């Protein structure tokens, strides 16, 4: 099985537009011996994203090959024909060397990681005030078209139902407050 000692795993999930990536970036900037697990995905790269830093952008064919060769800890077809997955090579060596690894993955992926690593993993669910608020945030960041926004809003409703499986629900009504609370909880878990 996998190495289940040394570094810890912090898994951050929540709807698109909940402020997840901002919280993850904030935690990465603190002195927590924390590194990001770069996922593989098959969606198109956005303008501000870098291959190998934000994601490993793969074709569907290459992604499926990696499924066959058992290279993922977990993977999901998060949106229709858009696959996302956590590569073993991104995580196992890092925790073995004593780094703590932080993930930005969906709720199903988070539950899969918990199943593998149990108490070595801490699941944080980021909750935006309301679906209306998520909709406003998605519209204002302009990285998705209206069809993609509707898909993401439908997914947000599903994700909300899964939040009781998480170790900590972080309410993001106020970003500065949310960053502070995230740091307190993650520090507590790591230390
Ligand atoms: P986005 O397209 O906005 O970058 O991500 C869409 C969704 O896929 C987000 O909820 C994000 O957390 C999730 N995601 C990103 N990487 C992974 C992964 O490796 N596995 C799973 N299960 N979900 C992921």
List the pLDDT tens digit at each of the 191 positions of the chain. 555 569 999 999 999 888 999 999 999 999 999 999 999 999 999 999 999 999 999 999 999 999 999 999 999 999 888 999 999 999 999 999 999 999 999 999 999 999 999 999 999 999 988 888 888 888 888 888 888 888 888 888 888 899 999 999 999 999 999 999 999 999 999 98
Protein residue with its CA nearest to atom 16 in ligand 1: 105
Dig out the tokens for 9 from the structure. Answer: 């795993």
Q: Report the atom number in ligand 1 closest to the C-alpha of 15.
A: 10
- pLDDT value of residue 155: 86
Q: What is the DSSP string of 43-73?
A: SPPPTT--BTTTEEE--HHHHHHHHHTT-EE
Report the C-alpha gap between 12 and 62 in whole angstroms. Answer: 26
| pLDDT of res. 1 | 55
Atom number of ligand 1 nearest to Cα 104: 12
Which residues approach ligand 1 with their CB closer than 6 A?
16, 39, 41, 43, 74, 76, 78, 84-86, 104-106, 108-109
Helix (H) or strand (E) holding 91: helix 88-96
Pocket probe for ligand 1: among 20, 72, 104, 110, the residue whose CB has the most ligand atoms within 8 Å is 104
Q: How many angstroms is it from 185 CA to the middle of ligand 1? A: 22
What pLDDT score was predicted for residue 87? 98
Instruction: Give me the architecture of the 9-190 domain, per CATH.
Output: 3-Layer(aba) Sandwich (3.40)
User: What integer pLDDT is reported at residue 2 of this predicted model?
Assistant: 59
Testing ligand 1's pocket by substitution, the residue of 72, 83, 109, 124 carrying the most ligand atoms inside 8 A of its CB is: 109
CA dihedral 130, 135, 136, 138 (to 10 degrees): 130
pLDDT of residue 4: 57
């Amino acid at each position: 099985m996998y190495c289940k000692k040394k570094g810890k795993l912090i898994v951050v999930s929540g709807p698109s537009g909940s402020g997840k990536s901002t919280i993850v970036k904030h935690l990465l900037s603190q002195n927590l011996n924390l590194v990001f697990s770069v996922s593989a995905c098959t969606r198109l790269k956005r303008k501000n994203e870098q291959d190998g830093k934000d994601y490993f952008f793969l074709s569907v064919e290459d992604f499926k090959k990696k499924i066959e060769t058992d290279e993922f800890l977990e993977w999901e077809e998060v949106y229709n024909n858009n696959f996302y997955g956590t590569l073993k090579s991104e995580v196992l060596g890092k925790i073995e060397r004593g780094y703590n690894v932080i993930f930005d993955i969906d709720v199903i992926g988070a539950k899969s990681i918990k199943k593998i690593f149990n108490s070595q993993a801490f699941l944080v669910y980021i909750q935006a005030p309301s679906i209306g608020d998520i909709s406003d945030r998605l519209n204002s960041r302009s990285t998705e078209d209206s069809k993609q926004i509707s898909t993401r809003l439908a997914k947000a409703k599903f994700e909300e139902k899964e939040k009781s499986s998480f170790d900590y629900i972080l309410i993001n009504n106020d970003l500065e407050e949310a960053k502070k609370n995230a740091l307190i909880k993650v520090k507590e878990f790591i230390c």
